Every structure is written in structure tokens, then in C-alpha cells.
Amino acid sequence: MKQLSLFLCFKYFCRKKIVLLSIAAVALSCALLITVASLFTGFIEAIENSADDHLGDIVIGAPLGLKISKYDRLINDLEKNYLIEAATAVLSGQGLLHMGKGTGDVRAVRIWGIEAAGRAKATPFADLLVRQKNKNTPPTFAVEDSAEQLGGFVGIGVVAKPDDVTDEYDFEQVTASIGREVFLTTGTKELKRRTIKFTIADVVFSGVYEFDKDFIYLPIDELAEKLYPSQGKIADMIQIRLSRKVEPQAALPVVRGIWQNFADNELGWTNYAISLAKVSTSRQMQARLLAEYRKQMAMLMLIFGVVSAGVVLLIFCIFYLIVMTKQKDIAIVKSCGLSSGAVAVLFVVFGLIIGLIGSAFGVVMGYLFTKNVNYIEHLISVLFDLKLWKSSTYMFTRIPNQVNWESVLWVGLAAVLAAALGAVIPAIAAAGVRPVKILRYE
């Protein structure tokens, strides 16, 4: 009997084309929420990863106005610990770069003095170099065909500008800039200006606009000698890459201990000065900004959640319509022995099934859209001459397209529950149908 009733009910319902509408509505809402959540979390993760790549997992920063001398010993101490894979020093500053004779091009730049080979061990720096990335040897500042000249690296945004329409760099122009002689002016604490002439030995293309637009890299020893003569090896930042599977938070106390020990024995700073040095994970350094992005994502999800609440209403209306127009069928099923409770359960289960099918379609649509978002964006730019995503606005050259499976799970679950919720009142109405009233002849 039960099987017959179920069969009849499903037969009736499946013939209702309007049911497809509720499936489509669930699928669309689901796809929208999954896409928004994935793109936003992808963006946040990309920021975290770019900070890891650029700064390492943990950073030791000297207090303002102080420099870490004998940093090679500190790096040595750090690398002895099994938690740490590699560490590298940075001497940072800002300056003014003249792009060479006759160009009339001057720009403000951020300067990092680095050890190219050491940095390549601690970060994926070697993979970012346009000329040297495919070489098997560690990167160097050596200028091709001219060993005496001082070589330096520049961010790709320093030598080229992304195209207004395609947002892509002209790599011919970029490659042509390698070997060009440029002039850097920066200052020392004693207010002396130093102008450094160097040759562009390579171009750094990280895909993160913030790091590409105005960074230049010079050999740390040469930079230190120019700005702080006779002070030996000095740096203001030590970037640390942890061994695989080591959590930065877990390694932080160890790094602090090594730093404290080094500072006490080697630097001769006061305890207060040592306490001012910042030892933090690269993610902690981004924490405030990331918290704001997460808040914006939550607001957006809330707004689209409200939009999706319309879907619950839609399902309610559709189910109510089915109940109202199929009262006779429900009455027949009930007259065959199906209880009111069973009829109600049937409607709720049907709501769940619609939710399941809708969210399955939604997940597939959301997945396909997120994975292909760069192609879609490219297509829009080609068809409508409209560039939606620019690295200068949204930091990254490519739209992060990783599907966030956690969001997929809870959005899918919410969709199934919402569909079932929309079916509850119509289910109660269906349960209340009295065969004797509906099926009487008069």
C-alpha cells in the first residue's frame, strides 16, 4: 500500500514542471553563494600565501632606527634548529629610481638588500625571476657579460605597465629592460644622499601587484656598504622558512628564544630595545587587514543569504500550489490508507529531495564557474572590451579560483534544509486534506 502511495505521489509531483523551477532556484542560489564564498576565501588565502612567499613564515623585525648586525650568526643559529628550513636577511629602505638616460622616468621605489641565493632557499624567489627562473643554479645578481657592474633586480611594474585592456605585461619590453643602467638615490641616517648606479640583472614577476609595482632588490652587502659603511653585515629583517608541516605558531616561541639568546650575546642592545624587536608570523602581520576582508565576506554572504531566503518563499509557494491543485490526488492517496503524518513526511522528504538535486546542480555550477572564472573574465574582456579584474586594483594578476569545500558543504546543507523548510507548511496543509470532503460527489 505504502509503495503504491509513494509511487502515485512521485508520479504526480514529477509531472509538475513547476517543480523544476524550485530546483533551478535552489541551484542558482547555491551556485551564487558557493562562488562568492570561494572567490572571497580564495582572495584571502592568496593574500596569506603571498605574504608567506614574500616574507617567509616568521619574521624578526628590528626596532625603528636599529639594525641587526652580524646577522649571519643569527641565521646560522636559526638554521641549526630542526624546525627551521632556511633563514635570510633583508636590509630595507626606500628610494628614488631614475630609469636611465633619456627616459625621463623617475619613480619612488622600495629597496630590499638581499642575498639572492639565501633568499631562494627561504622563499620561492628563484621562480619569480624572468631571466633566471629556468636555470638550475641559485639566482645571482651577476650581470651577463659584465662581471664588474653592480647588478640588481627590479619588480616587473617598475619597468613596464600592465596593458589597460588585457592587464598583461609586454614581456618583450620587460626582457629588453634587462641590462639597462639605472640610478637609485636613497639616504642614510646621517642625512647623506647616496646615488647607486646599477644594471638591471633580472626582473621579478610575483603576480602580486603590491610586490611587483615598486620593489627593487640589490645585494645586501653592497647596499649595506653604501649606506652604512664599515658596519659589516647588517640587516633590519630576518625572514624564516619553517620545515614542512611545522606550524608557525608552534615554532614562534623557539624562534623568539633563539633571537633573545643572539640579541643578548651579540648585539649589545638594551633589554628594552630587544623587547621592541618584533618576532611574528607573516600571517599575524596581515591579521588586521584579513579580519576586515573576512568581515566584508560575511556581509556579502549575509546579503546573498537574504536573497536566497526568497528561494524558501518560492519553494513554499510552489509546494502550496501543488497541495492546492492536487487535493483530490492527496485525498485518493489518503483514502487508500496513507496516514496524515505520512503525507506530511512525504512532502517534507520531497522538499529535501528538491534541495538535494538543486544543491547538487548548484555545487556543479558553482564549481565550474569558480574554476573557470579567469576564462570567463577573459571572455567578457574580449567580447565587451570590459576588464573586470585588474591587478592594480585587486592585487593579483589572476583571480584566485580555488573552490572552498567548507563553504560548499555548509551552503549545500543550508540549501537542503531551506528547501525542506519551505515544504513544511504545505506539508501540514496536505496532511490536513480530508478525503471525505474532497472526494464527495456533490
Partner 1 sequence: MYKIILPTRYLLKRRVTYLAVAAVALCVFTVVVVMTVMNGLVGEFKGKNHDFVGDCIVGTDSLVGFAYYPDFLSKLREQDFVLAAAPVAKGFGLLTQPGTGQNIGVEIMGIEPASFCRATQFAQTLYYHKDNPGAAFTPTYDPALAGCVVGIDMVAGTRDSLGRYHHDPESPRIELMITCFPLTAKGALAKAGTDLVNTKTFHYSDDSHTGLVKVDSRMIYVPFDSAQKLFGMAGPNPRASAIHVKFAEGVPLKTGVEKIAKMWDSFVATHKNETYAYLLKNATVQTWLDYRRSSIAPMEKEQTMLILLFAMLGIITVFIIFVVFYMIISHKSKDIGILKSVGVSRGAVVQLFLTFAALVGIVGAGIGAAAGCAFLIKINDMEDWLFEHFGWQLWDRTVYAIGDIPNNIEPDVLAIIIASAILAALLGALLPTARAARQQPVEVLQVSQL
Where does this chain touch partner 1 (CB under 8 A) — which range of 258-266, 279-287, 365-373, 391-399?
Answer: 391-399
Instruction: Kindly state whether residue 73 participates in binding partner 1, applying the rule CB under 8 A.
Output: no
Q: Is 357 in the site for partner 1 (CB under 8 A)?
A: no
DSSP class of 208: B
Q: Does 434 bind partner 1 (CB under 8 A)?
A: no
Position 268 contacts partner 1 (CB under 8 A): no
DSSP-derived 3-state class of residue 152: strand
Task: Tell me if 311 contacts partner 1 by CB under 8 A.
Answer: yes
Residue 28, interface with partner 1 (CB under 8 A)?
yes
Q: Is 237 exposed, middle or buried (0-12, 13-18, 19+ CB in 10 A)?
A: buried
DSSP letters spanning 223-266:
HHHHHSTT--SEESEEEEEEPTT--HHHHHHHHHHHHHHHIIII
When asked if residue 382 is in the footprint of partner 1 (CB under 8 A), the reply is no
Q: Is 318 in the site for partner 1 (CB under 8 A)?
A: yes
Q: 84-98 and 68-69: which strand pairing?
A: unpaired
Cβ–Cβ < 8 Å for 29, 362: yes
CB of 328 to partner 1, least distance (A): 12
Among the residue ranges 40-48, 122-130, 309-317, 395-403, the one whose residues contact partner 1 (CB under 8 A): 309-317
Is residue 428 within 8 Å of 352, Cβ to Cβ? no
User: Residues touching partner 1: how many (CB under 8 A)?
Assistant: 60
- Give the C-alpha separation, 218 to 259, whole Å: 25
The window from 83-91, 172-180, 218-226, 289-297 that contacts partner 1 (CB under 8 A) reads 289-297
Interacting residue with partner 1 among 324, 379, 382, 413 (CB under 8 A): 324
Residue 317 carries which side chain, given as an amino acid letter? C
Say whether residue 21 binds partner 1 (CB under 8 A).
yes
What is the largest distance, in Å, between two alpha-carbon atoms of the chain? 110
- 3-state DSSP assignment of residue 18: helix
Binding mask 200-219 for partner 1 (x = CB under 8 A): --------------x-----
Cβ contacts of 348 within 8 Å, gap of 6 or more: 420, 423, 424, 427
> What residues numbered 163-192 form the site for partner 1, per CB under 8 A?
183, 185-189, 191
Minimum distance, C-beta of residue 181 to partner 1, in the bound complex (Å): 12
- C-alpha 319/C-alpha 313 separation (Å) is 10
- Torsions phi, psi of 229, nearest 5? -55, 145
Residues in 89-118 that interact with partner 1 by CB under 8 A: 93-96, 98, 101-110
68 touches partner 1 by CB under 8 A: no
Contact positions toward partner 1, by CB under 8 A?
Answer: 18, 21, 25, 28, 32, 64-65, 93-96, 98, 101-110, 183, 185-189, 191, 193, 195, 214, 288-289, 291-292, 295, 299, 303-304, 306-307, 309-311, 313-314, 316-318, 320-321, 324-325, 386, 388, 390, 392-394
